[in-house]
Amino acid sequence: MTVFNDAYDGTRAVRATAQGEVFTGTIGFGCRKDMTGAGVTFSNYYGSALPRAPEDHPQTTEHPVWFYFDNTRFQVTLIYTPWEGVWTANGVLDSRVLEHWASGSRLEIVNMSGDTVTTFGLNQSRAAREKMRQVCGY
């Protein structure tokens, strides 16, 4: 799903989201015209391949993972915010990563121990990529 909208201040924004296989997590790729690099959000994940801290944990934690677009991998550090239950990575989706996202058929997130976090089909990602290029320039 791709959402193409104006932010509250009139800044153009794009966000593409997908559900993991068997509804294991929700990923969102997004950008704003005033943002350097596109960002990732990962939420609704309750599996064991990514550690979670209790909601009242006072700080974020970093979790490096691999994004496998078919046979090409990129290391991404996800930052877990316990009080929101969301992993994020800002400014990590440069044009090279976005092109693999757009042309790939599958994205698999794998932790550094080699355990699969979840897998996504990449249907319609080319259209979302083009909207990101139009709005954000990359």
Q: Tell me: the pLDDT tens digits for 27-81?
A: 988 887 776 667 899 999 999 999 888 888 899 999 999 999 998 999 999 999 9
Residue-range domains of the chain with CATH: 2-136 (2.60.40.1880)
By CB neighbour count within 10 A (0-12 exposed, 13-18 middle, 19+ buried), where does 55 fall? exposed
State the Cα–Cα distance between residues 128 and 135, nearest whole angstrom: 11
State the Cα–Cα distance between residues 60 and 82, nearest whole angstrom: 7
CB 45 within 8 A of CB 25: yes
Is residue 107 predicted with pLDDT exceeding 80?
yes
List the one residue out of 27, 41, 37 whose CA is nearest residue 107: 27
**Residue listed under structure tokens 């677009």:** 69
Q: Rounded to 5 degrees, what are φ and ψ at 109?
A: -100, 125
Residue 1 has a pLDDT of: 47
Q: 1 versus 35: which is more confidently predicted?
A: 35
Average pLDDT, the chain: 85
State the Cα–Cα distance between residues 30 and 70, nearest whole angstrom: 21
H/E element, 67: strand 61-69
CA 95 and chain centroid, separation = 14
Q: 1 versus 98: which is more confidently predicted?
A: 98
